[in-house]
Amino acid sequence: MPKRFTGIRLLLVFVGINLVMFLMLVTSMTSAHPWLANVLPGQFETGVNSSGYWVFFALVLLVDALTVFIAGLALMLPALFEGAPVDERRLTRHLVDRGGVSDAVKEAIFVSLREDAVNAYYQLVVGRAILFCGAIFLILAFFAVSYVFTRAVPDGAMFQSAVPVQTTNAGKVADLTVIGYASVKNSTVRANQIARFTADQVVAAVTLNAPHIYGFRFVALSSNPKLPFFTYFLFAFRLILIFTLLLMVISFLRRPQRPAREKKTIESVEAKLEEVKV
């Protein structure tokens, strides 16, 4: 595994980010006027039991999830780009009868390339596991952020009904009705509804929105497009999940060379080539 992507360095980055956010929390709680109230919604007067600090904790969880996700990418991408399988027969054809290259040098080149491929395989396996954990972590963070924001801004409307409703267009044309989506007040949204809404978004992301096309939903809620912040957050969440799925599929299709049970040397490959010729 490359030194720049060692587990110790990734752990230090994770700890450093959490330390900075912990210091932000301490400085806000110890000041006469909590400065987090200037950037985050909710109440900050009653300590950690206030809704504003729970918003901060949910954002910390989100940042940690993104950190784990980026760590998985840092391990996977180099392994995908640099860990192509070694074509042993093709390599041997280039080395056989090559003047000026001794057998010891040929063997060293062959073994070195094979070890690089094996190391890339292990790096890909570890990176894929970290990336998968980061995706699960991100789903939990999405639920937490959505839930605490509904409690921090009870009068807002982050969601709307997923089923269109008919309302009478009074004062204009008596018989005319307007079909639209009713906004849902945040204070009326429950935790189980947000959990099902999260499951809705995950399924829609990994299946290219197929359930919604056929009218299947876990909950009759959708995001309110009149609230740009939550809409962008939802779009980014779906985009990351789709990217994770594609990267997982690519990693299984183009995986580096696995370690062989028996160590192959250039002499053994040359012998096999001679057998094929005979």
> What are 147-179's pLDDT values in tens digits?
999 999 999 899 988 766 665 555 555 455 555
Q: Is residue 248 part of a domain?
A: yes
| Number of domains into which the chain is organized | 1
Q: Is residue 39 part of a domain?
A: yes
What is the per-residue pLDDT for 62?
A: 93
Q: C-alpha angle 206/180/156, rounded to 5°? A: 75
Reduced to 3 states (helix: H, G, I; strand: E, B; else coil), residue 271 is helix
Percent of the chain with pLDDT over 90: 25
In whole angstroms, what is the distance from residue 98 CA to residue 196 CA?
65
| Beta bridge partner(s), residue 222 | 160
Q: Is residue 120 part of a domain?
A: yes
What is the per-residue pLDDT for 106?
A: 63
> Which has more confidence, 241 or 208?
241
Q: Is residue 189 part of a domain?
A: no
CB 209 within 8 A of CB 149: no
Q: Tokens representing 51?
A: 């809704």
- What global pTM score does this model have? 0.76
Query: Would the pLDDT of 182 be above 70?
Result: yes
> Which has more confidence, 193 or 273?
193
Q: Is residue 94 part of a domain?
A: yes
What average pLDDT does this structure show over 39-68? 85
Closest CA to 88 of 64, 63, 111: 111
Query: Would the pLDDT of 3 be above 50?
Result: no
Q: Is residue 173 part of a domain?
A: no
Give residues with Cβ within 8 angstroms of 29, minimum separation 6.
Answer: 47, 48, 53
Query: Would the pLDDT of 259 be above 50?
Result: no
CB 147 within 8 A of CB 96: no
CB 67 within 8 A of CB 133: no
Domain membership of residue 81 as a residue range: 3-154+225-277
> Which has more confidence, 272 or 139?
139
Q: Tokens representing 27?
A: 């400085």
Q: Rounded mean pLDDT of the chain?
A: 78
Query: Would the pLDDT of 139 be above 90?
Result: yes
Q: Is residue 199 part of a domain?
A: no
